[in-house]
Structure 1
Amino acid sequence: MRFLTIVAVLAGLATAVPTPAAETTTAKSCSAVCKNPRVRKEWRSLSISERKQYLNAVVCMTKKPSKAPANLTLGVVSRFDDFNAVHIMSSDGLVQGTGGVHMVGFFLAWHRLFTWSYETALRDECGYTGAQPYWDWRIDADSGVPMAEWEIYNPSHGFGGNGDFVLEQNVTASWPYLAGQTGGGCVNDGPFKDTVMNVGPGSTLTHNPHCLRRGLNPDTIPWLTSARVAIAQAKADFLSYDAAVQGAQDMNPADGIQLFHGSGHYIHGGDSTDFISSSTEPIFYLHHAFLDKLYWEWQMMNPTVRLSEIGGVRIPFHPDSGPVALTDILDMKFAYKSGVEIKKVMNIRNGELCYTYQ
């Protein structure tokens, strides 16, 4: 089943197809070497005060005025909206198979730089002194502990819990709906209880104020276990690894929910289930930081090869649109500086980036 069979979303702005250029050097030849990397830690390893500092910085982003270029006439109000809008703009074309940053060979590289951009804004604009935390959902999925008791959803030093139950609440515009949500309405506790999101769902970029919706879905837990991740981590080459994380080009979209990129979004239900505007959910960045950690660990299993190994298509479902090259440009819109080549983000400690994982 192809994405074209899904109901199409509204047309958005220009898609994030990287600019092809001639292949030249490997990622290891990047000139700058970071000397004081930020250390990203698992959410639970942060002290309570460190968790609150991070949450306060995210709340700050939801209140800080937008810096989006005025000529784009977006419905953004806050800096948090800015990043959400960039993800929406960059994801448009997924359903139609005309572009975007999903189901393409630069998916992992783009989200690596996007997460770094958000982390940098937290530090530069909202006084955050730590690094972007990640959420190792394997720990929770393996634990057998009910979702309502997971630390990530703690109302006082986490992201808050479920929304009120709404029967068959569906905000998914770009991917199949998954039943089993135990909520679906506005989150009713935690730091984002009264937060107003101004763009989304789907490709909506006009002013559309709404609450953060969440509907915890325990049906996704079996897809996030250590055993499921181990299958991907054992893949021998980049194309096989990328397909294990986000899905193959001929994948049935419903099957993609069971791969850990998709299930890591769907587990929260609500706004998180739409791939285009999944960045409405603040846990988005912890999920993608963990995907990045897994990708980095996979790269380090064979760094001689994997720090310069890339490929895949530039446009979803168009085999003639590849292969993605190290010299392709990652388009961050207005979230980050322009002109960053893929080769500069292949190594998280040698090039554009400067961080590591604990």
Structure 2
Amino acid sequence: MYTRKNQRNLTRSEKRRLVGALLGLKRSGRYDEFVRMHGEYYVSDAEDRPRAAHMTPSFFPWHRGFLLEFERALQKIDSSVSVPYWDWTTDNSPASPLWADDLMGGTGRRGDRQVMTGPFAHVNGDWRIDARISEGDFLTRDLGRPGNPVSLPTKAEVAQALDDPLYDAAPWDSTVSRGFRNRMEGWSAGGSDRWRLHNRVHRWVGGLMMSATSPDDPVFWLHHAYMDLLWTRWQKAHPGSRYLPDKRLERSDPQYGRVFSADEPMPPWDMKPSALMDHTRFYRYA
């Protein structure tokens, strides 16, 4: 059992160890395997194949499994390290300590959006983007999109999603208008509200966080650790609610074979969503 902390509460030593483990995983080539995996399992509604990671009920358990595997890889480099979380309802500006030189580094420069500060800046030589997986060879960001501003989600918006006692609903994709999963993942039909909560955070960071290979930016892990924490809060607020669909869909359902019910193993680990409901088997949140 270990603890995931709010990134703003990390000590100087904890920040140094986290950054060191991230850079070590990158040098080993293992980090890029996680980037490649996320890109492979980013499957949209329009694709006629299994959809485990996004636009689907298993969004939360799949990413929990993904973070756990990543965290274990970091801990092979430094056993003291865990993935901290970024509460973007509080640390909601480019001036937040998260973006300082001792942690994530800052926004990108004008023109090519290349990040020039912090440990993941290409100019420092330790964080090269694999062009075989993603576009370009350096980390890019556009925090807050000053040219066309976007704001991070608020506490009130999070509370509204947490209030929904239903986990998910048919048709189990990005078009669902009710249920905690899609309220939090953040898909909608269009208009100014098209990017909500989880999705809007990716958009606010910009750059490589806007792609299917968004783990190219290490802030991805801190964002998804917070998403995981919000899932635990929803579970605590609605103890009578359960993961849905709880049974395999009928063959007549258009989503048959495309989404994962509670006891259907998810790729690539063959872990069932039901096996990932209780985070306290692995870690706790401070």
Shift of 1:256: 3.7
User: Could you tell me how far apart the structure 1 residues matched to 2:200 and 2:75 are?
Assistant: 29
Residue 265 of structure 2: which of 309, 329, 334 is its match?
329
Shift of 1:310: 2.2
> Would the alpha carbon gap of residues 47 and 314 (structure 1) be closer, same or farther in structure 2, given more than 3 Å must change?
farther
* Aligned residue identity for 1:311: P
* Aligned residue identity for 1:342: P
Give the conservation status (yes or no) of the 8 Å contact 1:311–1:325. Answer: yes
**Which residue of 2 is the match for residue 220 of structure 1?**
150
**Which residue of 1 is the match for residue 56 of structure 2?**
104
> Would the alpha carbon gap of residues 236 and 95 (structure 1) be closer, same or farther in structure 2, given more than 3 Å must change?
closer
**Which residue of 1 is the match for residue 11 of structure 2?**
47
Task: List gaps (5 residues or longer) in structure 2.
Answer: 169-178
Residue 56 of structure 1: which of 20, 28, 53 is its match?
20
* Aligned residue identity for 1:245: M
* Aligned residue identity for 1:136: D
Give the conservation status (yes or no) of the 8 Å contact 1:313–1:320. Answer: no
The answer on 1:320 being equivalent to 2:258 is no
The answer on 1:120 being equivalent to 2:75 is no
Shift of 1:127: 1.5
Q: Deviations over 1:240-285 (max 9, x none)?
A: 101211245x63387442x1111111111111012x1111111000
**Which residue of 1 is the match for residue 115 of structure 2?**
187
User: Could you tell me how far apart the structure 1 residues matched to 2:248 and 2:30 are?
Assistant: 28
**TM-score for the superposition, normalised by structure 1:** 0.68
The answer on 1:344 being equivalent to 2:271 is no
The answer on 1:311 being equivalent to 2:240 is no
Q: Which structure 2 residues correspond to residues 17-36 of structure 1 after superposition, within 5 A?
A: none
Give the conservation status (yes or no) of the 8 Å contact 1:229–1:260. Answer: yes
Shift of 1:319: 6.1
Give the conservation status (yes or no) of the 8 Å contact 2:142–2:206. Answer: yes
**Which residue of 2 is the match for residue 23 of structure 1?**
none
Give the conservation status (yes or no) of the 8 Å contact 2:265–2:272. Answer: yes
Shift of 1:130: 2.7
Give the conservation status (yes or no) of the 8 Å contact 1:220–1:267. Answer: yes
The answer on 1:356 being equivalent to 2:284 is yes
* Aligned residue identity for 1:134: Y
User: Could you tell me how far apart the structure 2 residues matched to 1:153 and 1:268 are?
Assistant: 11
> Would the alpha carbon gap of residues 163 and 208 (structure 1) be closer, same or farther in structure 2, given more than 3 Å must change?
closer
**Which residue of 2 is the match for residue 14 of structure 1?**
none
User: Could you tell me how far apart the structure 2 residues matched to 1:58 and 1:81 are?
Assistant: 11
> Would the alpha carbon gap of residues 237 and 208 (structure 1) be closer, same or farther in structure 2, given more than 3 Å must change?
closer
Shift of 1:217: 1.6
Shift of 1:301: 1.4
Residue 245 of structure 1: which of 181, 184, 208 is its match?
184
Aligned length: 263
* Aligned residue identity for 1:97: E
> Would the alpha carbon gap of residues 39 and 325 (structure 1) be closer, same or farther in structure 2, given more than 3 Å must change?
same
State the SS of the aligned residue for 2:91.
Answer: helix
User: Could you tell me how far apart the structure 1 residues matched to 2:273 and 2:191 are?
Assistant: 27
> Would the alpha carbon gap of residues 129 and 103 (structure 1) be closer, same or farther in structure 2, given more than 3 Å must change?
same
**Which residue of 2 is the match for residue 150 of structure 1?**
96
Percentage identity across aligned positions? 24
Q: Deviations over 1:51-90 (max 9, x none)?
A: 11111111111101xxxxxxxxxxxxx1111100000011
Q: Deviations over 1:117-139 (max 9, x none)?
A: 11110001x22413211001111
User: Could you tell me how far apart the structure 1 residues matched to 2:232 and 2:247 are?
Assistant: 21
Shift of 1:94: 1.7
Give the conservation status (yes or no) of the 8 Å contact 2:74–2:81. Answer: no
Shift of 1:320: 2.0
Q: Which protein, 1 or 2, shows the higher relative CO under an 8 Å CA cutoff with sep ≥ 6?
A: 1
* Aligned residue identity for 1:120: R
User: Could you tell me how far apart the structure 2 residues matched to 1:130 and 1:150 are?
Assistant: 22
